[in-house]
Amino acid sequence: MGRKALAARYIHGVSNVVKPNSSKKPAAAGLRPAADLPSPAAVNAAAASFAGLTAKLDYLSVPDLAQVRLAYRYADQAHLGQLRNSGEPYITHPIAVAAQCADWKLDAQALMAALLHDALEDCCVTKVELIERFGSPVAELVDGLTKLDKLHFSTREENQAESFRKMLLAMARDVRVILIKLADRTHNMRTLSDAPRDKWARIASETLDIYAPIAHRLGLNQTYRELQNLAFRYLRPWRYAVLSKAVTKSRGRRRDLIQKVHEEVDTAFANSGMDVRIAGREKTLYSIYKKMEEKHLTFAQVTDIYGFRILVPSVIDCYTALGTLHQLYKPVPGKFKDHIAIGKLNGYQSLHTTLVGPSGVNVEFQIRTEAMHLVAESGVAAHWLYKVNTPQGTGDWLGSKWLQSLLDIEDETRDAAEFWDHVKVDLFPDAVYVFTPKSQIMALPKGATVVDFAYAIHSNVGDRTLAARINGEQVPLRTEIKNGDVIEIVTAPGAAPNPAWLGFVRTARARSKIRQHLKTLAQTESEDLGEKMLAQALRAEGIEKLPDDTGSNRLLWEKLLRFSGNKSMSELFLDLGLGKRIAGIVAKRLLTLLTDRGEKPDALLLTRERYTTNEAVAQGGVVLDGSESASIRFAPCCGPVPGDAIVGYLGRGEGLLVHAADCAVAQKLKLKDSERFIDVQWSDEPVRPFETEVRVTVINGRGVLARVAAALAAAEADIIHIDMEDEAAQDATDLRFVLAVRDSKQLEAALSNLRRTQSVLRAQRAKSVQ
């Protein structure tokens, strides 16, 4: 459409102006109703904007270009009469977003969605109308973007978790959604100066905390750097201005040096006969600021502000160019990185080397091919720049593994806060590169442990991990891996994830898999415990065993489930095992149902149960041997060990908690919730040691701790943890030990050894007693 026609539509179409219902965007893309007719200059600006967009669409087919023009006309009509905060027609914003998408060579559907991305919310257009006019794929993209626009982020994680989850999952299902959203956010940030100043900090913080890391994770480095710089400009305007002035002055001072390096490098490559393209590279203001802040440097101490990028035809030329540079200038030891042989997680590939240039100034060089440069700047968008046909079809393009992992984690984690906890560590992927015993390279986040490595291989390997070797030496599972490590995982069929692993694993995949396994295990154990408790309670009512779920008994169980409000027997047993229901009450109801159909309690069994309550084990009570997992826990307040008299408390939704019988906490609970206590006893053969705490009062002096540790070792008690008073050294001090012992006899032997040790004043168990 020509400018005259467009101006005519503005002039003659005022009565049909679509007014926005609300001021939609908190960002610079905010719109306002037009108080007056747009000026001719504004109309010309809108026409010029679309003319500039069409000039970038030469890669589209004629039918696709026609569809984009239709979407533009529809969006232009929908936004007619709406103005941005700057006073420009609102349509200039969707055009600018589409232009950014065109730079990435996104397909026609994405460009149409970019032009229409505000139509649903601002212009009373419905999704059905978009489907009828432009097809379902475009409507789904616009709908996804509209839902993202409705999300309001907060720096407080508990508030932003659900919003962040929705955004990441929309991105994972179709990456074009987030590409259009990043283009939208980039244009908003470029025009943020037109927004009210009181909104700058919130919008800039949101950009820095959420959108810039996503752009980085997807390899959109040019967008990442621009978003960081723009956010810095509005978040710290004074610091931005000062640093910008300093960089400008530095640029002037170092112009001769940079020119000299450029000429010498150009001459070196010309003499070697290599066809290269040399480009200068300047560190962004935000990255300079972060380096100064993190390393406590002055601006003068930041030496790597300027660098060079060498673009060559092929991969082998990258290494040839490296040799040429190393012949020209001496390399700085330890400052070479080969990201071609081992690429970064987001697809980035390049050789990095720092050389000592003229006047002793360090200069960084990046060497890559043109294709690598495309990926380095455009990341996941290079999928379209490479003219791959469909964004959903290939599955193995850049970033797809991370995006797929989001969907996998979502399948395993329905809690938004937990999902955010899993994902946030993957947004900043400083990587380490390690090898399997078969020399396969694997990239993991910095700080990852051997358990993360095991889960990166396969979830079954992680779940069955027993031990690990790094470079042939056995190491603890919490050991952090380093670049170049060769890691071997030792597995065993009976091994299982340990809850303590959650304290040191680094990757979202490992964390979600461990939690999923523990939840499944806890549920299974709680069901078994609940069934056992109901059977025990029913025996106390004189019924030998639980009726099975067959034949006439099926109706019986249906009535009991209606009474309890559960959908299945498994759910009822789970509620009993978790303490959400009282086994005695359910057993009485089951007895009533059995009595109604003619069954009577066994009088002999009833009498025996009443007079042998302390022999619950023989009657099918809960037996503890240490193999229990999350469904049964041992109270830390008293630390019961085999040989102690114990009681079991069924907390509401917490499973079974085992206390020593003389524990003060247990006694108080008994007065308040006596019906929640059940019979528990130790097995004759526990399968593991149990932890308990002892307090030792000693006279301060050289070698005291060594003597105490030797006394415990003599009793074969393992020291799990030591805690000392924080106060300054005094004549006497308390040491608190967490010990692992087989039973109360071994514990008493350890305490006796301690009491006979020189400098020990007192040694006793640390537990609450009545």
Q: For residue 192, give both structure tokens.
A: 């943020």
> Is residue 598 predicted with pLDDT exceeding 60?
yes
Contact 121, 26 (CB under 8 A): no
Contact 86, 31 (CB under 8 A): no
> Is residue 20 predicted with pLDDT exceeding 70?
no
- Amino acid 636: pLDDT: 85
**pTM of the full predicted structure?**
0.55
Range in 59-63, 379-383, 489-493, 745-749 with the lowest mean pLDDT: 379-383
Question: What is the rounded CA–CA span in Å between residue 523 and residue 631?
Answer: 8
- Amino acid 409: pLDDT: 54
Place of tokens 């009373």: 124
443 CB-near residues (< 8 Å, 6+ apart): 342, 343, 344, 345, 431, 432, 433
Question: What is the rounded CA–CA span in Å between residue 272 and residue 276?
Answer: 11
Helices (H) then strands (E): counts for the chain? 31, 22
Best CA proximity match to 639, nearest among 498, 765, 770: 765
- Positive/negative CA dihedral, 466, 471, 472, 476: negative
- Amino acid 142: pLDDT: 84
pLDDT in tens, 265-305: 999 999 988 889 998 888 889 988 988 888 888 888 887 77
The H or E element that residue 330 is part of is: strand 330-338
User: 723 or 6, which is more confident?
Assistant: 723
**pLDDT, mean of residues 292-321:** 87
> Is residue 26 predicted with pLDDT exceeding 50?
no
Could you write out the three-class secondary structure of 60-73?
CCHHHHHHHHHHHH
DSSP 141: H
Contact 644, 660 (CB under 8 A): yes
- Amino acid 453: pLDDT: 93
**pLDDT band at residue 498, thresholds of 50, 70 and 90?**
confident
Question: What is the rounded CA–CA span in Å between residue 405 and residue 417?
Answer: 17
Helix (H, G, I), strand (E, B) or coil at 131: helix
Range in 192-206, 304-318, 342-356, 567-581 with the lowest mean pLDDT: 567-581
User: 441 or 463, which is more confident?
Assistant: 463
Range in 312-321, 507-516, 608-617, 705-714 with the lowest mean pLDDT: 608-617
Of 76, 88, 122, 174, catalytic: 122
> Is residue 386 predicted with pLDDT exceeding 60?
no
Amino acid at 392: Q
Range in 378-387, 421-430, 670-679 with the lowest mean pLDDT: 421-430
Highest mean pLDDT among 103-117, 205-219, 593-607: 103-117
Residues of the chain above pLDDT 70, percent: 77
95 CB-near residues (< 8 Å, 6+ apart): 46, 49, 50, 52, 53, 72, 115
Highest mean pLDDT among 34-38, 407-411, 721-725: 721-725
Phi and psi angles of residue 279, each rounded to the nearest 5 degrees, phi first: -135, 140
Q: For residue 109, give both structure tokens.
A: 């559907």
> Is residue 227 predicted with pLDDT exceeding 90?
yes
Strands 680-682 and 690-699: unpaired
Is 121 part of the annotated catalytic residue set?
yes
**pLDDT band at residue 313, thresholds of 50, 70 and 90?**
very high
Count of other CB atoms within 10 angstroms of residue 181:
22
> Is residue 396 predicted with pLDDT exceeding 60?
no
Range in 288-292, 408-412, 565-569, 718-722 with the lowest mean pLDDT: 408-412
**pLDDT, mean of residues 54-67:** 88
**pLDDT, mean of residues 29-57:** 61
- Amino acid 750: pLDDT: 92
Range in 159-173, 446-460, 680-694, 711-725 with the lowest mean pLDDT: 159-173
User: Mind giving me the DSSP string for 11-26?
Assistant: HHTGGG----SS---S
**pLDDT band at residue 450, thresholds of 50, 70 and 90?**
very high
Contact 417, 515 (CB under 8 A): no
Best CA proximity match to 462, nearest among 506, 424, 421: 506
Range in 128-142, 456-470, 537-551 with the lowest mean pLDDT: 537-551
User: 342 or 276, which is more confident?
Assistant: 276
Highest mean pLDDT among 168-182, 236-250, 612-626, 667-681: 236-250
**pLDDT band at residue 614, thresholds of 50, 70 and 90?**
very low
Contact 160, 420 (CB under 8 A): yes
pLDDT in tens, 503-555: 888 887 888 888 888 777 767 777 777 787 788 778 777 777 788 877 778 88
- Amino acid 650: pLDDT: 75
Is 122 part of the annotated catalytic residue set?
yes
pLDDT in tens, 71-98: 998 888 888 888 888 888 888 899 999 9
Q: Mean pLDDT, the chain, as a whole number? A: 78
User: 525 or 47, which is more confident?
Assistant: 525
- Amino acid 156: pLDDT: 46
Question: What is the rounded CA–CA span in Å between residue 135 and residue 723?
Answer: 67
- Amino acid 420: pLDDT: 53
> Is residue 615 predicted with pLDDT exceeding 60?
no
**pLDDT band at residue 243, thresholds of 50, 70 and 90?**
very high
Question: What is the rounded CA–CA span in Å between residue 644 and residue 308?
Answer: 72
End-to-end Cα spacing for the chain = 89
Question: What is the rounded CA–CA span in Å between residue 736 and residue 696?
Answer: 6
Of 121, 143, 149, 317, catalytic: 121
Which residues partner with 3 through β-bridges? none
> Is residue 716 predicted with pLDDT exceeding 50?
yes
Amino acid at 396: D
- Amino acid 393: pLDDT: 37
Residues of the chain above pLDDT 90, percent: 16
Question: What is the rounded CA–CA span in Å between residue 233 and residue 239?
Answer: 8
178 CB-near residues (< 8 Å, 6+ apart): 167, 170, 171, 214, 218
